[in-house]
Structure 1
Amino acid sequence: MEKTNESTVEWTEYDREETSFRRKELSSAVDATDLGCSLYELPPGMRSWPYHYHTANEEAIYVLSGDGQLETEDGLVTLTTGDYVTLPADESGGHRIVNDADEMLRYLALSTMNEPDVTVYPEMDKFGVFVGSPPGGRDERTFHGYYNIDDETAYWDE
């Protein structure tokens, strides 16, 4: 058994245009390898990671405090304290958290930690490949990168 208290885990801050939040990687603090869990604080008016879905990892969101929106393939879904949402490992699990309220939005994001994983970012027309360590994992990756969805190459060089 491994144990930590969130008060002993340092925040990592992310700030890029409309994407601005703080994250505590709770699973990394206890060296978890098969289950990911991070605490997020999303300020009013901000958005989390760009809209995406995973092809190998399920995710779940549990709202600790505050209100916001979950951007999905079908539109926005209201989030409020106590809500628990599951996100399948396919296109139907596409998501992005939006804080359109006046208060801080605090939530836990949980995920399986399967690899390899391909993460698709439809609004950016990109995808990411993660081999050796899944998205959110801290082990060394044997291969990873981000690519344009429309890039195509032949199997055989002509």
Structure 2
Amino acid sequence: MSDGPVNADDLDWTDYDHGDRQFRRKQLGEAAGGEDLGASLYAVPPGKRLWLRHYHEGNEEAIFVQRGTGTLWLGPEKEEHPLEAGDYVALPAGEESAHEIAAGDEELRLLMVSTMEEPDITVYPDREMVGLYAGAAPGGDAAERSLSTYLDATAEKDYWDE
């Protein structure tokens, strides 16, 4: 249950720095007591990128650009789309929503929302990798997860093998 409104200015940023993937995040949905809908505010420095290109098999996401400019690569063919303040992007579950985002010449500020369904499979097509989550959805409370792992997407084992 919600404790009432949460003001983004009252929340601390969490910093992520992985080379060219650098951003700050405030988890608004979690702070407000959200259970089935996640919402995060992101600040991406000029020329930096957000998460690895991915899509979800079990969750829908959406992006609202608050300020700045950037580039969105969307779908299996990585179609390039410019982003600017006021743009909204719906990302239904599935391969057509594979996406990656980079900031332009100024900070890119985004509000991203997601359904918080679990279990979920997150597919990273450029890395031939999948993320498997159960117990809590991606972006949810990691301590509640009974499964949280990344695997090579081509790893196979016969059902009957011991």
SS where residue 92 of structure 1 aligns?
A: helix
- Identify the residue that residue 144 of structure 1 maps to in structure 2: 148
Question: What runs of 5+ residues in structure 2 fail to find an aligned partner?
Answer: none
Please state whether the residue corresponding to 1:24 is helix, strand or coil.
strand
Alignment of 1:50-89 (within 5 A): 50-73=52-75, 74=77, 75-89=79-93
Q: Distance in 1 between matches of 2:116 and 2:82?
A: 27
Give the aligned partner of residue 98 of structure 1. 102
Q: Does 1:154 align with 2:152?
A: no
Give runs of ≥4 in structure 1 deviating > 4 Å: none
Task: Give the residue type in structure 1 aligned to 2:145.
Answer: R
Gaps of 5+ in 1: none
Instruction: Spell out, residue by residue over 1:74-111, the C-alpha distance to the aligned partner (whole angstroms, 9 max, x if none).
Output: 32111110000000100011111111x22110010000
How far apart are the structure 1 equivalents of 2:126 and 2:93?
18
SS in 2 for 1:27: helix
**TM-score, reference length from structure 1:** 0.96
Identity of aligned residues (%): 46
Partner of 1:132: 135
- Report the Cα offset of residue 30 of structure 1: 1.2
* Matched letter for residue 111 of structure 2: L
Which amino acid letter does the alignment assign opposite residue 153 of structure 1?
A: K
| 1:111-153 residue CA offsets vs partner (Å, 9 max, x unmatched) | 0000000000001110000000000001510112110011111
When the two chains are superposed, the root-mean-square deviation of aligned CA atoms in Å is 1.0
Q: How many residues align?
A: 157
SS at match of 2:144: coil
SS at match of 2:126: helix
Whole-angstrom CA distance in 1 between matches of 2:126 and 2:133: 19
Which residue of 1 is the match for residue 16 of structure 2?
Answer: 14
Question: How many Å separate the matches in 2 of 1:129 and 1:102?
Answer: 35
1:120 equivalenced with 2:123 (yes/no): yes
1:143 and 1:68 map into 2 onto residues whose CA distance is: 34
